[in-house]
Structure 1
Amino acid sequence: MRPASSPPGVIGALPVLDRLLPVWIIAAMTAGLLLGRLVPGLDTALEAVRIGGISLPIALGLLLMMYPVLAKVRYDRVGTVTGDRRMLVASLVLNWVLGPALMFALAWTFLPDLPEYRTGLVIVGLARCIAMVLIWNDLACGDREAAAVLVALNSLFQVVAFGALGWFYLDVLPGWLGLAQTGLDVSTWDIAQYVLVFLGVPLVAGYLSRRLGEHVKGRDWYESRFLPRVGPMALYGLLFTVVILFALQGGTITARPGDVARIALPLLAYFALMWGGSFLAGKAIGLGYERATTLAFTAAGNNFELAIAVAVGVFGVTSGQALAGVVGPLIEVPVLVALVYVSLAGRRLFRSEEIVHA
């Protein structure tokens, strides 16, 4: 990922590894699809490597991806984030009111005749991002400390609100509107497990790395020597995760291209509307570029692993709901990579904003 000393917000100043990220992402997606299609039994073997319903290969990739970003966070600055009520309130409204409502509306608008896919998309909309968003935010030169706080806030709400919102959007609201209803039986403990593994473990590791590294070697050594060494792990973890995700579902995706295209349309609309609306909302409420960017990416991203796990657990691995969950990262990864560049180009909207990233 970008070194602390590089001029932030300038695409040309990004390291070569990051500037070619779209190429690596496309290569990883292609490799995963080919592996899933050409290697018999690979998806079954990968699915079998689980503990408590959590895929170990995906967990490994996410942990490798998140640790370097969380190790860069200046935890002594977190207090300045928690005091920014404009950003915290905006994030909660965007993530837990507007996001699920928008996905519900788009799912019914684009897929009125496909109830399984529609339900799967609603589940994707309820699974707010707590992992991969840290990568997009860091590449777009967002506020790392703000991202850590908002991701933690999303995690708490996810444990408490996911099941209740699923009941509301799949049963109560459709009933009020005279639409078809669906039940969603998911335990709070299952949600808590995902939050603990995909956020708790790398967060603790990142925090301890900074505290111990600075205590033993000093801040200068930690930021100039240690972080550049572990930084590339984030990209490797991201690419590994993408390969595994697409290898798991390569056969399904390539065998049903028409269904994938139908599911992709509302997802494209969702990511564009959520990111663009959140980015402009951040500017409208007076946030600087860094925090407006963080607000946009934390609002637009989704927790694909949770959405897939819930869809598979409730409706089955071959269900339309599970396919909709799988198509989520197929669309989200390249779209949010593109939005990293849109975000960097959008710095001109913040004319007097000077971005400082330690």
Structure 2
Amino acid sequence: MDAARDASPEAGGRLSRMDRFLPVWILVAMAAGLALGALMPGLGSVLEAVKVGQVSLPIAVGLLVMMYPVLAKVRYDRAHRVLADRKLMIASLVLNWVLAPAFMFVLAWVFLPDLPEYRTGLVIVGLARCIAMVLIWNDLACGDRESAAVLVLLNSVFQVLAFGALGWFYLQLLPAWLGLPTTSAEFSFQTITASVLVFLGIPLVAGYLTRTVGERLKGRAWYEDRFLPRLGPWALYGLLFTITVLFALQGGTILARPLDVARIAVPLLVYFAVVFAVGMVAGKVLGLGYARTTTLAFTAAGNNFELAIAVAIGTFGVTSGQALAGVVGPLIEVPALLGLVYAALWARTRYFTIPNQSALQEIS
């Protein structure tokens, strides 16, 4: 990501040339993954041979490489300012743990009333709040990195504490109250905790230590002006690698069941668009400013797909409809949230007061 945007969360900036062509790179990564899966039928078993919890090791590596540079950019000495922003904290908790899961529940029943496995998979996706890829989208959209790091940490804590209880509520208790069929599911506390510790804990500790040690040895100017520009592109490399592996692993299933994928994709697209829009409007109304408003919207709209997939596979099996819904989640989320990056940048120049707005025209 462009180092020019690091000076201030509210500072004007522009997408780097590499970032501006990200849609092209993502399409290439998707096509490469599909081609690899089609040309090498045994590749999936090789990629799945070693796992971190229930997630393929190559995907785990890609996620860690993707998240580490972004977390190394966070100025951790500013985190206390984010925690002191009660409006942001409360809005994030309400959007992430009340409105978003409830909205996904409604969408699942509206769009998939006759497909209980896919419906359950969507509900699980809605419960898995984002702790990984959201950092990429937030960074591309010039969101507040410190706020993103704090909100992701907040989501991780609630994920460990509340995921099982909310799963019971939305799959058993609430459907029973409404006279709808219920789904029995046991959620592994170990799986949820492992997902948080691996996919957030490792890159967070690495990013914090990198900044702390780097600034002590060389100073902040060297760290941000010389080190971060060299480290930054690895976030994009990790993202593209993860997308390639995902499509190589699941491309065959997706191509074999296109109508099912389409039916799962529609409520997901509605979910991403509506939740993101609600987050942007809420931030604007609360006067959070562009950077924190964007962070609020992305952390609410994104989902922890690695956890959703792990829970679906661990609970219902790798060939289940619930697992397919979990897999379709990130395949729809990646292009959808990339599109929302450009929507956020468009809204930035029209609905928010940003210093040096003339410098932003190139990206609108």
Q: Same fold (TM over 0.5)?
A: yes
Change (3 A) 1:110 1:10: farther
Equivalent-residue separation in structure 2 for 1:237 and 1:165 (angstroms): 31
Partner of 2:62: 61
Unaligned residue ranges in structure 1 (runs of 5+) = none
1:323 equivalent to 2:324? Answer yes
Where do 1:78-157 residues align within 5 Å? 78-157=79-158
Contact 1:120 1:325 in 2 (8 A): yes
Equivalent-residue separation in structure 2 for 1:38 and 1:117 (angstroms): 28
Equivalent-residue separation in structure 2 for 1:355 and 1:142 (angstroms): 16
Partner of 2:279: 278
> Root-mean-square deviation (CA), in Å?
1.7
Change (3 A) 1:151 1:48: same
Contact 1:11 1:19 in 2 (8 A): no
> What is the deviation of 1:287?
0.7
Contact 2:5 2:12 in 1 (8 A): no
- Alpha-carbon displacement from aligned partner over 1:124-168 (angstroms, at most 9, x marks no partner): 000000000000000000000000000000000000111110000
> What is the deviation of 1:240?
0.3
1:237 equivalent to 2:253? Answer no
> What is the deviation of 1:9?
8.6
> What is the deviation of 1:53?
2.9
Contact 1:213 1:222 in 2 (8 A): yes
Q: Which amino acid aligns with 1:4?
A: A
Q: Which amino acid aligns with 1:3?
A: A
Contact 1:210 1:222 in 2 (8 A): yes
Partner of 2:362: none
Change (3 A) 1:351 1:52: closer
How many residues are paired up? 356
Contact 2:103 2:271 in 1 (8 A): yes
Farther-moved stretch of structure 1 (216-225 vs 129-138): 216-225
> What is the deviation of 1:38?
2.3
Change (3 A) 1:5 1:324: closer
Contact 2:121 2:312 in 1 (8 A): yes
Equivalent-residue separation in structure 1 for 2:184 and 2:51 (angstroms): 26
> What is the deviation of 1:354?
3.1
Contact 1:174 1:180 in 2 (8 A): yes
Q: Which amino acid aligns with 2:115?
A: L
- Alpha-carbon displacement from aligned partner over 1:33-90 (angstroms, at most 9, x marks no partner): 2212221111111111114434211111011101110000011111110000000000
Contact 2:122 2:325 in 1 (8 A): yes
Equivalent-residue separation in structure 1 for 2:312 and 2:67 (angstroms): 24
- Alpha-carbon displacement from aligned partner over 1:89-125 (angstroms, at most 9, x marks no partner): 0000000000100000000000000000000000000
Where do 1:191-210 residues align within 5 Å? 191-210=192-211
Change (3 A) 1:154 1:286: same
1:13 equivalent to 2:7? Answer no
Contact 1:171 1:181 in 2 (8 A): yes
Contact 2:10 2:291 in 1 (8 A): no
Farther-moved stretch of structure 1 (31-40 vs 140-149): 31-40
Partner of 2:360: none
Partner of 2:214: 213
Q: Percent identity?
A: 70
- Alpha-carbon displacement from aligned partner over 1:253-308 (angstroms, at most 9, x marks no partner): 00000100111110010001000111111101111000000000000000111111
Where do 1:339-354 residues align within 5 Å? 339-354=340-355
Contact 1:290 1:355 in 2 (8 A): no
Equivalent-residue separation in structure 1 for 2:50 and 2:141 (angstroms): 34
Structure 1's consecutive aligned runs of 4 or more residues displaced over 4 angstroms after TM superposition are: 5-12
Equivalent-residue separation in structure 1 for 2:58 and 2:341 (angstroms): 26
Partner of 2:335: 334
1:158 equivalent to 2:159? Answer yes
Q: Which amino acid aligns with 2:2?
A: R
Equivalent-residue separation in structure 2 for 1:327 and 1:24 (angstroms): 20
2:3 partner SS? coil
Unaligned residue ranges in structure 2 (runs of 5+) = 358-364
1:252 equivalent to 2:224? Answer no
> What is the deviation of 1:207?
0.4
> What is the deviation of 1:5?
5.0
Contact 2:290 2:352 in 1 (8 A): no
Contact 2:250 2:327 in 1 (8 A): yes
